[in-house]
Amino acid sequence: MSINHTKPYLIRSIYDWCIDNNFTPFISVKIYPGLDVPIEYIKNDEIIFNISARAVHDLIINDEIIYFMARFNGVSRKLEIPMDVVKNIFAKEVNQGIAFTLDKWNENKKISNKQESNKAIDSLTYQSKNANKPNLRVIK
């Protein structure tokens, strides 16, 4: 008999708690080579995402991944965050939530083909340089 991990259930419950209390849910994600996230927002080998309904679209939290679409510098991106690299989920306003310990293998996760890793980073850098800056305008 296989037992499901508690992490996805806890993440969904804290997310629901945030929404019920009008708080903004944030997740902190451990970065590893090959994770497709906006590199300009990475600090100290982690990235923090606002996953509120106002910030993301098509949010799915299942047993393996957190999937959502979000805009970064005006460019829409689909993100798939593996569940095992989520460090914590918390409410921005009260800084309460749950922190998780990461599995040992996450610390040692490597991409075997170094060129593939460099190509992914080059691609992200190219995308971020060529992204148009958002234009704000007043609509009356």
Q: Is the pLDDT of residue 139 over 90?
A: no
Over the chain, what is the mean pLDDT? 80
Q: With contact defined as beta carbons under 8 Å apart, do 92 and 26 qualify?
A: yes
What domains can be seen in the chain, in order of their start residue?
7-130 (2.30.30.220)
pTM above 0.75, yes or no: no
pLDDT higher at 119 or 69: 69
pLDDT tens-place string over residues 70-81: 998 888 999 999
Contact between 29 and 49 (Cβ < 8 Å): yes
Pick the residue with more confidence: 107 or 17?
17
Asked if pLDDT for residue 110 goes beyond 90, the answer is no
Alpha helices in 46-113 (DSSP H): 104-107
As beta bridge partners, residue 35 has: none
Share of the chain above pLDDT 70, in %: 71
User: Within its chain, how far is the Cα of 3 from the centroid?
Assistant: 25
Residue in the structure block whose two tokens are 């990475």: 42
